[in-house]
Amino acid sequence: MKTRRQFLQKAGLLSGASLLAPLAGKAMQEKLDYAFRSRAGQSADALATDEDFWAMIQQAFTVNSNLINLNNGGVAPAPKSVQDAVERYARLSNEAPSYYMWRILDQGREPLRKKLAALAGVSPEELALHRNASEALETAIFGLRLRQGDEVILCKQDYPNMINAWKQREKRDGIKLVWLNFEFPMENKEAIINRYIGAITPATRVIHLTHIINWMGQIMPAKEIVREAHNRNVEVVLDAAHSFGHIQYDVADIGCDYFGTSLHKWISAPIGTGLMIVKKEKIKNLYPLFAAGDPESEDIRKFENLGTRPFHIEQATGQAIQFHQMIGGERKQKRLHYLKNYWASKANAIPGVRVATSLDPAYGCAIGLLQVEGKTPAQVDSFLFEKYKIHTTGINWENIVGVRITPNVYTLPADLDVLVEGIEKCRKA
Ligand X SMILES: Cc1ncc(COP(=O)(O)O)c(C=O)c1O
Provide the binding-site residues for ligand X, judged by CB under 6 A: 132-134, 159, 161, 210, 214, 239, 241-242, 262, 274
Nearer to ligand X by Cβ, of 210 and 392: the residue is 210
- Pair type for strands 204-210 and 151-155: parallel
Q: C-beta of 23: minimal distance to ligand X in Å?
A: 24
Residue 276 per-residue DSSP state: E
Q: C-beta of 220: minimal distance to ligand X in Å?
A: 11
Helix (H, G, I), strand (E, B) or coil at 396: strand
Nearer to ligand X by Cβ, of 275 and 420: the residue is 275
Region for residue 45 given its phi and psi (left: phi exceeds 0; alpha: psi -120 to 50; beta: otherwise):
alpha
Q: C-beta of 169: minimal distance to ligand X in Å?
A: 17
CA angle 60, 215, 314 (to 5 degrees): 45
Q: C-beta of 161: minimal distance to ligand X in Å?
A: 6
Nearer to ligand X by Cβ, of 54 and 159: the residue is 159
End-to-end CA distance of the chain: 55
Q: C-beta of 262: minimal distance to ligand X in Å?
A: 3
Q: C-beta of 128: minimal distance to ligand X in Å?
A: 15
Nearer to ligand X by Cβ, of 222 and 326: the residue is 222
Nearest CA to 206 out of 231, 235, 174 is that of: 235
Nearer to ligand X by Cβ, of 214 and 325: the residue is 214
CA dihedral 232, 235, 240, 243 (to 10 degrees): 30
- Pair type for strands 176-180 and 368-372: unpaired
CA–CA separation, 368 and 220 (whole Å): 15
Nearer to ligand X by Cβ, of 262 and 317: the residue is 262
Q: C-beta of 245: minimal distance to ligand X in Å?
A: 13
β-strand partners of 239: 210, 260
The DSSP-derived string for 48-77 is TT-HHHHHHHHTTS---TTSEE-BTTT-PP
Nearer to ligand X by Cβ, of 132 and 315: the residue is 132
Output 289-296 pairs: Cβ under 8 A, ≥24 positions apart: 289/135, 289/138, 289/139, 289/142, 289/143
Q: C-beta of 77: minimal distance to ligand X in Å?
A: 15
Indicate the angle between helix axes 109-120 and 2-15, nearest 10 degrees: 100
Nearer to ligand X by Cβ, of 12 and 217: the residue is 217
Instruction: Calculate the CA 310 to chain-centre distance.
Output: 21
Q: C-beta of 242: minimal distance to ligand X in Å?
A: 5
Nearer to ligand X by Cβ, of 272 and 328: the residue is 272
